[in-house]
Amino acid sequence: MAQEKLLLIPGPSPVVPRILDALARATVSHVGPEMVRELRGACENLKKIVFSAKGEPFVVAGAGTLSMEMALLNVVGPGDRVLVVSQGYFGQRMGQICEAFGLPHDVLECEWGKAVLPEELASRLAEQPYEVVVCTHVDTATGASAPVEAYARAVRKAGALFVVDGVCATGGIAERMDDWAIDVVLTAAQKCLGTPPGLSVLVLSERAMEKRRSLPSVPAYYADLLRWLPVMHDPTKYFSTPCVNEIRAFYEGTRIIMEEGLEARFARHDLFARAMRTGLAALGFGFFTDPNFLASTLSVVTYPEGVDDKAFRSALYENGVVVAGGLAQTAGQVFRMGHMGNLAADEVLFALAAVEKTLIALGRNVKAHASSGAAREVLSG
């Protein structure tokens, strides 16, 4: 069998053997004692991951886009207006979901690579009332991280519900639901949580649940969270067959996060981002994202003059590392590298050595080990 490549696209992130082993365990009854223990355990851990004492967690088969849809459909009522705060591709997708369901909305956006400033959000909210505000924590196309805590203050002041797309952040960057007053964190299994793709993951605050309960119906069936709530409270109940193997893997993933500790995990994401960027900069790469908004979970990297995107990425693949190309307007101009989830320091160094080898194979003049040496210094503090 060919050797597996190191998967450094911005999600899915590499899945460690302990989680793969959990995925490969027996398929058990979806209403049996193993699911009671593991789904419950996953839900308890998930609340801790987003710092929510009384929130309602949901883990269902799907992906990040279904989480986005579920979040909107369950908290936006008839006559409500949604403000989408967008710093790029996934904010635009929020707008598209609103359009698909006929939800009245406005988009407050900014140049790619930056995030909307909290003052801009506050002044928009002062001008016009909205019942729901949604934002993307980290836009995976631009590498920009939004100031979620400051947004939350502005949204709470305006009395709206606040929904955060944490698909590229939850479990890697802090999202303190209770302290900051976030009403919905929606995310997916495959990024900072380090588990295989296949799950929609959400936590709703008490306020958000009250809002859902106040709606006589929502334009959804599978995506109606009130149909899932009894299952999340008591996994012996049936609504629609949960993906038991994925849930076993997800439970194991949340246990790994608890063992590492959240603050340590956030600090590790910061450290690896600095190490990776220091190493890449030493090789002549630049960064697309405005330095004020750099996310710790991925880097959107610009090439040194004369390095071709396709040639670089395919040679890097041959050297054992998979990265992603640019999305939409950045296609062909950048590569995107994830450094999130359960990555290890030696994988950061391996990736940089592979990038260095790739540049040499493409005929560039680079100083041997300059990049991994610089990164090693960052890693050793």
- Give the binding site for ligand PMP (CB under 6 A): 11, 63-65, 68, 90, 136, 139-140, 165, 167-168, 188
3-state SS assignment for residue 29 = coil
- Closest distance between ligand PMP and the C-beta of residue 267, in Å? 22
Q: Closest CB to ligand PMP among 94 and 161?
A: 94
Q: Smaller CB distance to ligand PMP: residue 29 or 96?
A: 96
Q: In terms of CB distance, is 63 or 322 closer to ligand PMP? A: 63
Instruction: For residue 44, give the nearest of 231, 232, 242 by alpha carbon.
Output: 232
- Pairing relation of β-strands 324-325 and 334-338? antiparallel
Which distant-in-sequence residues (6+ apart) come within 8 Å of 4 by Cβ? none
Q: How far is the CB of 60 from ligand PMP (least distance, A)?
A: 13
Closest CA to 358 of 306, 321, 305: 321
* Shortest separation between residue 127's beta carbon and ligand PMP, angstroms: 27
Q: How far is the CB of 331 from ligand PMP (least distance, A)?
A: 15
Smallest gap, in angstroms, from Cβ of residue 65 to ligand PMP?
Answer: 3
Q: Given the complex with ligand PMP, which of 68 and 173 has the nearer CB atom?
A: 68
Q: Which is nearer to ligand PMP, 335 or 374 (CB)?
A: 335
Cβ 197 to ligand PMP, closest distance in Å?
6
Which residue, among 205, 167, 172, 204, has the nearest Cα to 189 in the 3D structure? 167
**Which residue, chain included where needed, has tokens 């207006």?**
81
Choose between 61 and 122: whose C-beta lies nearer to ligand PMP.
Answer: 61
In whole angstroms, the minimum distance from the beta carbon of 284 to ligand PMP comes to: 27
Q: Map residue 351 onto helix, strand or coil.
A: helix
What H or E segment, with its residue span, contains residue 134? Answer: strand 132-136
Q: Cα–chain-centroid distance for residue 101? A: 24
DSSP H helical segments within the chain, as ranges? Answer: 17-23, 33-49, 64-75, 89-100, 118-127, 148-158, 177-180, 206-214, 225-233, 244-260, 262-282, 309-318, 345-361, 370-379
Cα separation, 38 vs 26, in Å, equals 13
Nearest-approach distance from CB 296 to ligand PMP, in angstroms? 14
Shortest distance (Å) from residue 91 CB to ligand PMP: 9
Q: State which residue, 63 or 370, has the beta carbon closest to ligand PMP.
A: 63
Measured from the CB atom, is 165 or 252 closer to ligand PMP? 165
Task: Output 11 or 194, the one with its CB closest to ligand PMP.
Answer: 11
How far from 59 is each of 115, 199, 205, 338, 378, CA to CA, in Å? Answer: 29, 7, 15, 24, 37
For residue 325, what is the DSSP state?
A: E
Radius of gyration of the chain (CA): 21
Residue of this chain nearest to ligand PMP (CB atom): 64
